Amino acid sequence: MAGRNYARLDSVAAGVPRSPSMDTAHPPVDIAPPPVLVSFDIDGTLEIGDPPGIVTIAMVEHARRLGYLIGSCSDRTINYQEALWSRLGIAPDFTVLKHRLADVKARFAAQAYYHIGDTEVDHHAASGAGFRFLKADAAAHADWAPLLLPALLIEGS
């Protein structure tokens, strides 16, 4: 092994251009950028919340198909959140209480962090955790949905 390293260093020192194929022990790896992470409030945000919100389950499923990390951040208990996702047949990457949203950011590397919610409490939790807050109302939705969920036909948009 040491001889191989010396040979490689000697070729570099001699001005021999090194190609990725020269190092067969460590082939080049395509490193994908980290995914986008989207946290969903439940009540007033998801269509199945109480009250129902504007974010459809189809939108959540589309985010998953795009490779996003998804989950919920709610005042609802973790058991409730897990049961909700189970009923939907969706395996979330996380379920947390609102005051623990920063834990999600610490746990997952992402290129962008979003929390979609409908209240000032959501806005405060998102901002405090370093997430971009997206308001779950019709006017704001028209701005963020095409950017966050491209190529998704959204009913009423």
Domain for residue 5, yes or no?
no
Domain for residue 115, yes or no?
yes
How many whole angstroms separate alpha carbon 155 and alpha carbon 2?
63
74 CB neighbour count, 10 Å cutoff? 24
Reported as half-sphere exposure (CB side, CA atoms, 13 A), residue 146 has a value of: 6
Output the domain CATH number for residue 119: 3.40.50.1000
Which range marks the domain in which residue 98 is found?
36-148
Domain for residue 132, yes or no?
yes
Domain for residue 10, yes or no?
no
Residue 109's pLDDT is what?
95
Domain for residue 42, yes or no?
yes
How many whole angstroms separate alpha carbon 9 and alpha carbon 18?
10
- Report residue 13 CA to chain centroid gap: 44
Contact 136, 45 (CB under 8 A): yes
pLDDT digits (tens, 9 = 90+) for 4-52: 333 333 333 444 444 444 455 666 666 777 899 999 999 999 999 999 9
Instruction: Look at the block and give the residue holding tokens 């006017």.
Output: 139
Structurally, the chain folds into a number of domains equal to 1
